[in-house]
Amino acid sequence: MKKEDILDNEYHYSEERDERVKDTAEVFTPPKVVKQMLDSLNIDWDDPPQDKTFLDPTCGSGNFLVELAKRGIPVQNLYGLDLMQDNIDICHKRLKEIYGDTEDVRFHLNRNVIQGDALEDSYEFHEKFTGFDDW
C-alpha cells in the first residue's frame, strides 16, 4: 500500500473519524468513485493538461485533489476548501507525499487549499482561474 493511501485509511477509518462523521454528517467520496468521475471527463490523462485549474469546494481530506496530483496536475493548479481545518491538514499531508514537502509546494498549498465555507464565506484565491471558458 502506498504511503498516501495509508494516511487516507488511517484518517477515514478510526473511532475519532466515525464519531465526528455522526456529529457533522461529513461524507467523503470513495477513491474508486473519484477515479470513475475523473475518467468520465473529456481529458486525455496520458497527457494531463498543465493549463487547467481544478477546484474542489468541499475537498475534505483531499480525495479528488490527491487523484488529480497522481494524474500529473501541477500543485499550483489545485484549489480546495473545507469547513474543517483538520481535513485541510490531512489534505496537505497527502499532497506533500506526492509532490514533496518543498517550500514551493507548501507555498501553493497554504494559498490554494484552505479552510473555509464555499457556500457562506467570502474568500479569494490568489491565482486567476482558467479552464472555465465553456461556462
Tens-digit pLDDT profile for residues 31-60: 999 999 999 999 999 999 999 999 999 999
Model confidence band, residue 11 (pLDDT cutoffs 50, 70, 90): low
Beta-bridged to residue 82, according to DSSP, are 115
Whether the per-residue pLDDT at 4 is higher than 70: the answer is no
Across 13-92, the runs of DSSP E, i.e. the strands, are 54-56, 78-82
Q: What is the pLDDT of residue 129?
A: 47
pTM tops 0.85, yes or no: no
% residues pLDDT > 70 (the chain): 77
Model confidence band, residue 106 (pLDDT cutoffs 50, 70, 90): very high
pLDDT, tens digit, 9 for 90 and up, residues 75-92: 999 999 999 999 999 999
Whether the per-residue pLDDT at 20 is higher than 50: the answer is yes
Cβ–Cβ under 8 Å, residues 55 and 80: yes
Which secondary-structure segment (H or E) carries 111?
Answer: helix 103-112
Compute the half-sphere exposure of residue 121: CA atoms within 13 Å on the CB side of its CA.
13
Would you list the domain boundaries of the chain?
A: 3-42+51-115
Distance of CA 53 to the CA centre of its chain: 12
DSSP secondary structure code for residue 25 in this structure: -
Q: Cα(98)–Cα(94) distance, rounded to whole angstroms?
A: 7
